[in-house]
Structure 1
Amino acid sequence: MSEEDKKIEEVPEKVSEQEQVEVNKEQVEYIEIYIRFNDDFEKDYCFQVLVKDTFADLYKIFETLPLSLRPSVFYHHVPKGFRMSVDPGYLTEDGAILFTYDAARNTRLVKDTDVIAETVWPGQLIVPNWERNDFGFYATVTFFLVWLYTDLPDFISPTPGLCMTTYMTEFLCWILRKFDYAYLSDKLLADLYEEVGIVPQLLFFTMHIFKTLIFFSILYFGSFNPYQPFKYYLRNVPPPVTPEQLTEIGWTGARRATMDMYRDHYRDYKIKEHDGMVHAHKMGLFDKLKHLGVVLGEGEGFDTPRRGPRKTLADNGKKFYISFDYLIKLGDFFEQYTAQEDVDLAASIKEYRRYGLLHGSDEIHEKVAERKAAVFST
């Protein structure tokens, strides 16, 4: 886990899970959506937004959290717009819909003035539309090219003796002397000024090319993606986020699971529920795991038109449409399940936001089975 991942995980929850349940019961003007951070399919975080909020209200999330949520240092911290994922999704065994690995590829651009609750389904994925920082990108490329040029072998360099690596080594030796490591400094300088043949120069330059490519790749692919690389030397570092600010942006702290995460968790959860692998095998768990859930197709799942078909299942089980009636049934069953005395409400809410339901009514299971039969029976 990278440093930025740890920082995201350390962001406190805006209120306790019990308080969130009470808020949801008293105020029904919230819906929950997921927003992708760092353009990473493992970082789809759940947020509560007001039904009157527009997509323009989502910018405050990126302006408030003192974290690097962009794909890499070559992008601006705040996106220039948003897209809604219309990828149908992955239907779980208990009727929830998770995001597939293609969720960010199948998207539709939305306007900042569009009302979120009137545009997306509850639980749908919002993908930020990132704008590249051209100055930062080309400045970095220029720096690496200049570094490569100055380190050209002397026998082919137009400016022999002008070597950035040499200057950096001399600066390092100066620091070593300041800390009473003169013997080490002298050794480095002796190696630095030693006469080197053509072949060693070429080998050194080849290694330097690979080293530069590695450094650039680390930046380009976001492996090193700090909020402010020089934050310890700048005065404009944003203060730590407060609980009030987290409440305002709708932070819940929950992160949506991928399909593989769900499959692993479902297997472990059901084995524990059946008190071990032997009993789980007798109950048919491992046969179910062979075809756990189903990836939905075009026109169903999160690709269901908001003003389109309202039936949960149609076309003889070949399509699985979302409707508000269906989502209400999921919510009603969740309330019934968590009302049991032996159920940990806070843990169930976290689990629900991450994996969806891990239990379902007979009606929901029947609809899921019909949709799976349309795929696995052929």
Structure 2
Amino acid sequence: MITNNITNALLGSIEHTTPQVAPENVEAYLTTIKKAERDLEKIDPAIALLDKQPADSEILAMVAAHQKQVVQSMVSSNPEDAIALALASSIEAYSQQLEIIYGWTNGGVEMFESALWLMLEGIEADGVQPEELEDLFQIALLDIMIHPEKYGLENWYAANKEDISHILESTGSGSHGLHESDYDTPEELAEVTKSLYEGIMNNATIPEGSLLDEVMSALEGFEDADGATGSDALYSQINDHYYDDYGWWTEGTADDLSPMLRLFLLSEVLSNNPKMSQEDVELILTGSLTEIDDLIKKTFGSGTALEFLCDNTTWQIQTGYNYPDGKTTQIDWKGDGIDNNDLDDLYNNFEGRDLTDEDIEEINRIGDQVKMLQQTLKYWLQICRDEQMAIARNI
């Protein structure tokens, strides 16, 4: 088999010991190797396409998944083989790179979920502040909205959709406003939020490392000035601080936006400007309100983020109120809470981002890695087969 210097260098840099296979298992191990070789050959046509057309992230992800299965079958037969483990690690690395690119450019649920993770990272970066508790809980609700089955919450979510739609509308940074009855006082909103929180904790099966696990752990780990944690801290924040400046975008006092507002804004900006860079996408999801306003003005020539959102979506500004601390305006979703059909449409049809030159360059680089690793895998399997056949002849 023809190999290149890179393949030889990769294999030569890793200590390789002949698998310690019991004599009675040599034939079985040879069968595993032959099956792995056949499985690897199945993706050769896809590899060949990479030389005939621009690299495609979806094809590369499929190839990577297939390569990973081949290596995993070998690892299960010989878990101490350092080469197998190194190859598995290499495949995992570029698989994750492809997932990131795919998640940010394909749109739909994948991009929506990528956005939720990024906003969580942004909130946690400098430590969770009291006014960010509502934003954290919004991320939890939005994650459940797109994956209720992941947490065993299908029935719970169906029963609580109405409450969730109102909490997504009326809590969170920049999003404070009192609307329909049963949700038109800070105390009522705090009570509904606490009930939802406790419903999640009592009913969800939360996989370790999942987005919901990360969010609820952050909320449970937060302690306010009075020593309250979890649902109690969230209740107190809404009930006692609802009229604080951080909640009122329309008053010009907020310097942050809730995840719900950021997602509606990003979806609409992408709809009007699909060629926006990844940097600008991330700015809308994690940047300050001043930075977002500057981006809107730079992209569309004039206006603020608030004006853009209200001009292009179902959000509106309401005036004529007499709330505490001089608050007279609020942002509002036209309707009774955020319409659940609109929420479903937001994540299912979330606008994707066009591939940038940088994305294409990265995909092509990964394509080269995939092709090189395909040759390496074939060479490695040949070595394994030759070694086992030699052992079989000596039995």
TM bucket by the smaller chain?
Answer: under 0.3
- Higher relative strand content: 1
TM-score of the superposed pair, with normalisation by structure 2: 0.23
